Amino acid sequence: MKIHEKYIKRCLQLAKNGLGTTSPNPMVGAVIVYDGKIIGEGYTSPYGGNHAEVNAIKSVTDKSLLNRSTIYVSLEPCAHYGKTPPCADLIVEHKIPEVVVGVVDDNSLVSGEGVKRLRNAGCDVLVGILEKECRELNKRFFTFHNKKRPYIILKWAETKDGFIDVKRSEGAEKQPTWISNKYAQQLVHKWRSEEQGIMVGTNTVIKDNPRLNVRSWVGKNPVRIILDNSLRIPKEAYVFDGMVKTILFTSSRTAFSKKRNNVQVALIDYSENVPQQVCNVLFKNEIQSIIIEGGAYTLQSFINANLWDETRIFVGNTIFKEGVKAPQVNGTALFEKNVADDSFKTIIP
């Protein structure tokens, strides 16, 4: 057993190379072992490209060893024709006799079919090695397929006395109030690059005019998701600059007379459960994960609807005494650490 864990651990290490590039595909790692030695390794290519098993098999110099090898994969090999042909067939074609799988793929196109196909072809298949770790690595993918909604990360920065913003009057300067430090900002840009969507509510756009992109990190920009019931956001706002796709959730289509570049309009009923309707639309758009960066009202509405998976909070050294209260969330605090002078905590439900 220990030997299997060792190689699945290596698969997980390899899989992580795909963070931020494979989605909506999961990150997967594969290792091929012959006579106690690794003879091939691979991980999922950027979206639309090769699966991990294909890259691992390609990397083996002496293919004649494959019919006496074991292939380790952190996720069940696929059995369907998607953007690429089935990995289970490729394994059978190369006559690899033994397959060790971390966790079953919950995508309804696969879910057990890959294992079945391998076993039917006479492969010896072992399933469920470091299952928890394999699931955790692709938490976005698994949440999307099981709960039919994106994986939701809530993020905010609060002062030592629990405020996320100062009191601001209408027409006040359009500048965000900084609570966390510049290292935290860079970390947030890294986080943005890891998710498929980034969401904020109307007031945050009106007050801060945020770009919601990845400027302080190298990576791809997430799709912008904006809630604006009665289209109060001015068309000059950065979120409508067309540089990145924006999904705009509104209820008044008529006011949206001039078509905006790269903006997809989603009509919802603002008198109903908004977070759930947003999730339904995002699921249809195959957005597997989002980070919600404010404001307090939007964050709290997702907490109240029980639609969140992770909360990341920076606690700065500042004291505001009054202002906009930080959202209230109950859960298990996973860890706390310092980012420069600020502290940072993660909470899960």
Please identify every residue annotated as catalytic: 53
Chain positions 61 to 80 lying near ligand AOF, rule: CB under 6 A, are 75, 77-78
**Gyration radius of the chain's alpha carbons:** 23
158's contact among ligand AOF, Zn ion, none, with CB below 5 to 8 A by partner kind, is: none
CB of 120 to ligand AOF, least distance (A): 17
CA separation for the pair 303, 330 (Å, rounded): 9
CA separation for the pair 70, 57 (Å, rounded): 11
Instruction: Report the Cα–Cα distance between both ends of the chain, in Å, rounded.
Output: 32
Q: Which residue has the tokens 């709290």?
A: 300
Q: Which is nearer to ligand AOF, 11 or 184 (CB)?
A: 11
β-bridge partners, 126 = 100
99 sits near Zn ion (criterion: CB under 5 A): no
CA separation for the pair 108, 110 (Å, rounded): 5
The single residue among 28, 31, 154, 268 that binds ligand AOF, judged by CB under 6 A, is 28
The single residue among 8, 9, 26, 156 that binds ligand AOF, judged by CB under 6 A, is 26
Q: Could you give the 3-state DSSP secondary structure of residue 251?
A: coil
CB of 38 to ligand AOF, least distance (A): 18
Could you tell me if 114 and 85 are in contact, meaning their C-beta atoms sit under 8 angstroms apart?
no
Contacts with ligand AOF, 126-155, as mask; x by CB under 6 A: ------------------------------
Per-residue b/e over 119-148, b at no fewer than 16 CB within 10 Å?
Answer: eeeebebeeebbeebbbebbebbbbbbeee
51 sits near Zn ion (criterion: CB under 5 A): yes
For residue 115, the surrounding DSSP H or E stretch is helix 113-120
Could you tell me if 287 and 196 are in contact, meaning their C-beta atoms sit under 8 angstroms apart?
yes
Chain positions 172 to 201 lying near Zn ion, rule: CB under 5 A, are none
Return the range that interacts with Zn ion (CB under 5 A); candidates 40-48, 78-86, 174-182, 338-346: 78-86
Peptide bond into 29 cis (omega under 30): no
44's contact among ligand AOF, Zn ion, none, with CB below 5 to 8 A by partner kind, is: ligand AOF
Q: Which residue has the tokens 């993918």?
A: 141
Could you tell me if 337 and 319 are in contact, meaning their C-beta atoms sit under 8 angstroms apart?
no
26's contact among ligand AOF, Zn ion, none, with CB below 5 to 8 A by partner kind, is: ligand AOF
346's contact among ligand AOF, Zn ion, none, with CB below 5 to 8 A by partner kind, is: none
Cβ neighbours, 10 Å, residue 60: 20
CB of 323 to Zn ion, least distance (A): 50
117 sits near Zn ion (criterion: CB under 5 A): no
The single residue among 12, 20, 40, 44 that binds ligand AOF, judged by CB under 6 A, is 44
Contacts with ligand AOF, 104-123, as mask; x by CB under 6 A: -x-x--x-------------
Given the rule CB under 6 A, which residues bind ligand AOF? 25-26, 28, 44, 51-53, 75, 77-78, 82-84, 87, 105, 107, 110
Given the rule CB under 5 A, which residues bind Zn ion? 51, 78, 87
